[in-house]
């Protein structure tokens, strides 16, 4: 049902007028941690992804607003994948132009998807470099993993330029994984440690708060050569899941689990979404990329547009600096998020573990937002710590919690009142305005504990694991429980949560009002970014979930 669709292209030729670069007119910077291995041979096969221009993106955005706004008569009236496809599929002209261009270079081995807005084509490196003048493919290695990317910008013909958003498999390299145990030395041996029991106590989940309906499911997605081990999950649940009904196995793995050791990140995601979203069917999307030239995150996005049946909640602990990605690429990815949202799917992204971040531009510094955390079409989750690390107390900011303001995407209507109120209330203590974009999409939207988790990885209990990679699946699991209760009442899935979340105005969440996160280490801000404040703030959003209260307000349709 959900396989990629194969087709061959008619053989046509056309005259070519070359345009400028599709994504960027700057040199492509390969991060230093990627070591150059060699130039890709001319006959080596590559797989490139062509993002075809979609139709009716403005109508898609409006539809997302209507089905996500609880005050709309269309609230919860989500679309099927077929309805989404009929709305956004490329025009006949776009398909004809792109197909003709590919075929004129002898490229016939292509796959498309149900929405017909992506093509994945296999070709030799020599053909790819003729197809995309300027591109030069090289092999790079980091931590034993190999990728093929172009070290230079590419261009496309003028008549094709207007029918493509970008070509995947040339420029973007996966960001380096985070050291989730980086705080170990400072707190080792002196902390309560976060376990499922601690989370259930803090967020007021009882042993009865577990899933029960058949048509509910949740998922985590992994991209950075991270894999979970079933034996770790079983051991984790045996150690920490005794007080509530739970599952000890993942129901479905989409993709290929790699061999070798389990990753802390993957173990953390699976173990904790299945602890708060207890007894709910759980999927794992694992996509290292079938080929060195693939982009794993992009492959996951394409999968979402090609599967008719998907889990209702997805949590993703992945991000990159906004300034390292092209605006064309991020804008198209936002459209993919909208396509998921109108289907009733909730996408939760970790806000990152670098506070406000810092970008050094000569003598001037600015904060450095992260994407997809800065997307207006996902729910972004920040992090907190216990005020008293020795017992379950109220929460304060975790100084690593990612947050700030997008430099690319404008502030969405659903959050303008809350964010402008914050900016006005704390105006006297804000960082200089040269550090951030006051009119950009502000994040995170909410938060949960992100400090000092227990995880089982490679059959060993590991303490002091920290990061918003922990808080995100915790929130995701709770939203899955709420979906469970909604389905029992005959209500639709929550879908894109933000418009409804912001209308709650902080109701049903524990407000976090203490603490600041990291910023630039310079004379002006001296290592400090933004600080928590009453109501919404760009460190912890609206705060952390009070589960029974949140359940009550999200069941009141």
> Tell me: the pLDDT tens digits for 368-389?
999 999 999 999 999 999 999 8
Q: Which of 467, 433, 419 is nearest to 447 (CA)?
A: 467
For the chain, give every domain's residue range. 22-54+90-168, 196-555
pTM: 0.92
Active-site annotation holder among 225, 269, 292, 537: 269
> Tell me: the pLDDT tens digits for 217-240?
999 998 766 789 999 999 999 999
> Tell me: the pLDDT tens digits for 269-286?
999 999 999 999 999 998
Among this protein's residues, is 469 annotated catalytic?
yes
Characterize the bridge pairing of strands 364-366 and 359-361.
Answer: antiparallel
Question: Do 176 and 457 contact (CB within 8 A), yes or no?
Answer: no
Output the CA angle 328-332-335, nearest 5 degrees. 150
Cβ neighbours for 346, distance < 8 A, ≥ 6 positions apart: 312, 313, 314, 379, 476, 479, 483, 493, 494, 495, 496, 497
Question: CA-based Rg of the chain, rounded to a whole angstrom?
Answer: 23
Active-site annotation holder among 23, 129, 225, 265: 265
Among this protein's residues, is 269 annotated catalytic?
yes
Q: How far apart are CA 479 and CA 550, in angstroms?
A: 9
Would the pLDDT of 288 be above 60? no
Amino acid 556: pLDDT: 84
246, two tokens: 């739970």
Residue keyed to tokens 């953390």: 268
Residues in the chain: 557
Among this protein's residues, is 249 annotated catalytic?
no
Domain 196-555 has CATH 3.30.70.890: no
Amino acid 25: pLDDT: 40
Would the pLDDT of 471 be above 50? yes
Q: Distance between alpha carbon 232 and the CA centroid of its chain, in Å?
A: 24
Cβ neighbours for 17, distance < 8 A, ≥ 6 positions apart: 157, 158, 159
Active-site annotation holder among 351, 370, 406, 469: 469
166: left (phi over 0), alpha (psi -120 to 50) or beta: beta
pLDDT band at 291 (very low <50, low <70, confident <90, very high): low
Would the pLDDT of 3 be above 70? no
Region 497-525 average pLDDT = 96
Q: Is the dihedral of CA 67, 69, 70, 72 positive or negative?
A: negative
Cβ neighbours for 40, distance < 8 A, ≥ 6 positions apart: 46, 125, 137, 138, 139, 148
């Amino acid at each position: 049902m959900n396989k990629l669709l194969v087709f061959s292209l008619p053989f046509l030729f056309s005259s070519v007028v070359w345009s400028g670069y599709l994504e960027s007119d700057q040199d492509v910077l390969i991060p230093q941690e990627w070591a150059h291995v060699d130039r890709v041979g001319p006959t080596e096969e590559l797989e490139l992804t062509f993002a075809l221009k979609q139709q009716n993106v403005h109508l898609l955005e409006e539809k997302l607003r209507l089905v996500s706004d609880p005050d709309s008569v269309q609230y919860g009236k989500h679309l099927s994948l077929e309805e989404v496809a009929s709305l956004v599929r490329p025009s006949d002209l776009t398909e004809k132009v792109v197909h003709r261009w590919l075929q004129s270079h002898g490229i016939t081995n292509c796959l498309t998807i149900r929405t017909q807005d992506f093509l994945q084509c296999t070709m030799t490196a020599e053909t790819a470099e003729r197809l995309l003048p300027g591109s030069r493919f090289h092999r790079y290695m980091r931590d034993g993993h190999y990728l093929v990317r172009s070290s230079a910008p590419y261009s496309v013909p003028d008549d094709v330029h207007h029918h493509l958003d970008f070509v995947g498999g040339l420029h973007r390299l996966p960001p380096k994984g985070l050291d989730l145990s980086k705080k170990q030395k400072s707190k080792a041996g002196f902390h309560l440690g976060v376990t499922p029991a601690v989370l259930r106590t803090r967020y007021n989940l009882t042993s009865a708060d577990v899933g029960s309906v058949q048509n509910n499911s949740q998922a985590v997605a992994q991209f950075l050569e991270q894999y979970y081990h079933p034996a770790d999950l079983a051991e984790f649940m045996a150690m920490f899941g005794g007080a509530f009904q739970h599952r000890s196995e993942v129901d479905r793995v989409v993709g290929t689990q790699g061999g070798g050791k389990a990753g802390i990140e993957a173990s953390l995601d699976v173990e904790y979404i299945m602890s708060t979203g207890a007894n709910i069917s759980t999927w794992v999307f694992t996509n290292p990329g079938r080929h060195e030239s693939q982009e794993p995150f992009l492959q996951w996005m394409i999968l979402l547009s090609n599967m008719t049946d998907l889990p209702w909640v997805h949590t993703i602990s992945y991000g990159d600096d906004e300034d390292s990605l092209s605006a064309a690429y991020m804008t198209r990815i936002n459209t993919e998020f909208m396509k998921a949202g109108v289907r009733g799917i909730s996408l939760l992204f970790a806000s990152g573990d670098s506070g406000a971040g810092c970008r050094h531009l000569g003598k001037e510094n600015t904060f450095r937002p992260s994407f997809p955390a800065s997307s207006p079409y996902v729910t972004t989750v920040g992090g907190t710590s216990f005020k008293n690390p020795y017992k379950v107390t109220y929460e304060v900011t975790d100084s690593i919690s990612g947050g700030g303001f997008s430099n690319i995407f404008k502030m969405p209507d659903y959050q303008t009142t809350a964010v402008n109120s914050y900016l006005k209330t704390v105006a006297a203590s804000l960082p200089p305005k040269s550090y951030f974009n006051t009119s950009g999409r502000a994040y995170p939207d909410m938060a949960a504990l992100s400090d000092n988790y227990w995880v089982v990885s490679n059959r060993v209990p590991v303490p002091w694991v920290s990061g918003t990679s922990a808080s995100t699946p915790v929130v995701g699991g709770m939203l899955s429980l709420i979906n469970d209760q909604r389905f029992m009442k005959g209500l639709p899935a929550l879908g894109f949560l933000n418009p409804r979340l912001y209308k709650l105005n902080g109701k049903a969440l524990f407000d976090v009002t203490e603490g600041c996160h990291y910023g630039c280490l310079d004379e002006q801000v001296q290592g400090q970014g933004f600080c928590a404040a009453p109501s919404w703030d760009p460190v912890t959003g609206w705060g952390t979930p009070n589960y029974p209260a949140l359940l009550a307000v999200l069941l009141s349709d």
